[in-house]
A and B are shown apart, each in its own frame.
Chain A
């Protein structure tokens, strides 16, 4: 356990080194936040209560999505390219040789990165949004704790998905195509382009039960207090179920992959 904590801390510190890059990311997230905020204002002016959101709730969605963009890798990015490169180059053999579990190692490192990005890239855009627009943020209440728990579960789901994507390299060697397809799916089905509750008809219903919905839509709905009491438990349960299922699938795929590894030379 101490080992994985150390890995997580080093993941945090590794990303904390790039201060200028973090500032640049905050700037870009904030600019996109403004652009999306104005389009949503226009949309909700035409149709108040669209998807059950009022205007303030829609704006909260925009700024929360910009805050979680880096941490949950909503539009791609993350450790999987590094993992794929290690698989391609054969360095993965060294990783497997270590007295640590491969999945837990990467999970710890990715959570460290995510925590840094949550603080470094998340807080400022949300604060700017709250200063410039009227948001529907809760006061000091337990909702924030539930929100953070929901974000954490979303991060686990995000990792679970990306671990599967990373492991594809055992079979494909070049992960570029899968990564691109995955980034598109994430961008669209997380609700980054448009909240999932605005997606029309059956398509929307399907989109809302896919794992990507656990990364942004559910945490935002928890923050907006649209999920309380039994609804909150169901929402967190939905996220936890996806997290467990994906982590188990990752474990199974890892077992299948490592059985395949042949270390050449010596």
Chain B
């Protein structure tokens, strides 16, 4: 009986830890949003810039389609669907957790120590500090393009595939979020290696903009079984678009994105713990 009670208490403590984290995150974010809004014109310019940066990516794809009708067998609306889904997912993760790539810099300049002395979870503090609302630009751009593609797509919608779209956006954001956390944990070990995670985050979303049929089979295997980027949009999107996946996985795999996202978070959370436990201040 005592064991059960202890377990319940530990669980409650864990929950309250998460609640503390979310609360601290909210407080810090609100502060940064208010400070951003003090320079309204600058904010508008930066958001437009963020929007334009990702839009140019798609302009390049549109230029490709000015020469061709299909890329890897996918039409422009289909590629736009892939592009829109991964941009929204990545954009959300980048908005909420993008600042985690500063861990290395914080260790170097010693500001990590300040965070450790505050009575709030460190992960929430690092993620919220310098919160950049301008990153809504990417989410907006991805969302608009996704809307356009949905209007242009020629697919037979069923209740299941309709539901799959929001599920894939959220699960995708969670998977990208886990990558940000894991990348941040890695920076405790390799302080100067912030750029490595760009290969998986920015590189990941660039990869997922294109159909899997474009890439070598081994690369697709790698991003399915090792770094599970394929679950962000490829697998569920192929189901929505009514196409076979190049690896020939069983059909139910298309619906497992939320589960994969959960596993990713557990692993990333553990990695973060290990990283933070092993942290040694550089001193002053």
Tell which of A2-10, A17-25, A81-89, A246-254 binds the partner.
A17-25
- In the assembled complex, how far is the CB of residue B116 from the closest CB belonging to chain A, in whole angstroms? 23
Tell which of A96-104, A150-158, A162-170, A177-185 binds the partner.
A177-185
Would A31 and B199 count as touching, CB distance under 8 A? yes
Would A27 and B199 count as touching, CB distance under 8 A? yes
Complex CA distance for A32 and B57, rounded to whole angstroms = 14
8 closest Cβ pairs, A-B complex:
A193-B60, A31-B199, A24-B195, A20-B192, A21-B192, A24-B193, A180-B49, A46-B68
Known: A18-B192, A20-B192, A28-B199. A180 touches B64 (CB 8 A): no
CB-contact partner of A194 in B63, B190, B195, under 8 A: B63
Complex CA distance for A148 and B14, rounded to whole angstroms = 59
Would B66 and A42 count as touching, CB distance under 8 A? no
CB-contact partner of A200 in B66, B198, B216, under 8 A: B66
Asked if B176 lies at the interface with its beta carbon under 8 angstroms from chain A, I say no
Can you list 9 residue pairs at the A/B interface with Cβ under 8 Å? A20-B191, A20-B192, A24-B196, A25-B195, A42-B210, A42-B214, A47-B67, A50-B67, A180-B45
Complex CA distance for A34 and B52, rounded to whole angstroms = 25
| B interface residue count range (under 10 / 10 to 19 / 20 to 34 / 35 or more) | 35 or more
Asked if B59 lies at the interface with its beta carbon under 8 angstroms from chain A, I say yes
* CB neighbors of B among A37-58 (8 A): 38-39, 41-43, 46-47, 50
Asked if A225 lies at the interface with its beta carbon under 8 angstroms from chain B, I say no
CB-nearest residue of chain B to A180: B49
Most buried by B among A34, A38, A39, A43: A39
Contact bitstring B194-219, A, C-beta under 8 A = 1, else 0: 11101100010011001001111001
Asked if B72 lies at the interface with its beta carbon under 8 angstroms from chain A, I say yes
- In the assembled complex, how far is the CB of residue B109 from the closest CB belonging to chain A, in whole angstroms? 15
- In the assembled complex, how far is the CB of residue A138 from the closest CB belonging to chain B, in whole angstroms? 27
Asked if B249 lies at the interface with its beta carbon under 8 angstroms from chain A, I say no
B interface residues, Cβ below 8 angstroms from A: 42, 45-46, 49, 52-53, 56-57, 59-60, 63-64, 66-72, 190-196, 198-199, 203, 206-207, 210, 213-216, 219
Asked if A234 lies at the interface with its beta carbon under 8 angstroms from chain B, I say no
Would A23 and B207 count as touching, CB distance under 8 A? no
Residues on B with beta carbons closer than 8 Å to the beta carbon of A176: 42, 46
Complex CA distance for A23 and B46, rounded to whole angstroms = 30
Residues on B with beta carbons closer than 8 Å to the beta carbon of A18: 192
Asked if A210 lies at the interface with its beta carbon under 8 angstroms from chain B, I say no
Would B66 and A180 count as touching, CB distance under 8 A? no
A interface residues, Cβ below 8 angstroms from B: 18-21, 23-25, 27-28, 31-32, 34-35, 38-39, 41-43, 46-47, 50, 174, 176-177, 180-181, 183-184, 187-188, 193-194, 198-200
CB-contact partner of B63 in A183, A184, A198, under 8 A: A198
Would A39 and B199 count as touching, CB distance under 8 A? no
Would B207 and A35 count as touching, CB distance under 8 A? yes
Would A38 and B56 count as touching, CB distance under 8 A? no
Residues on B with beta carbons closer than 8 Å to the beta carbon of A198: 63-64, 67
CB-nearest residue of chain A to B195: A24
**Known contacts A177-B49, A184-B52; can you find 8 more A-B pairs with CB under 8 A?**
A21-B193, A23-B193, A32-B199, A38-B210, A38-B219, A42-B213, A42-B214, A184-B49
Residues on B with beta carbons closer than 8 Å to the beta carbon of A35: 203, 206-207, 210, 215
CB-nearest residue of chain A to B191: A20
Residues on A with beta carbons closer than 8 Å to the beta carbon of B69: 46
Residues on A with beta carbons closer than 8 Å to the beta carbon of B216: 38
Complex CA distance for A188 and B207, rounded to whole angstroms = 18
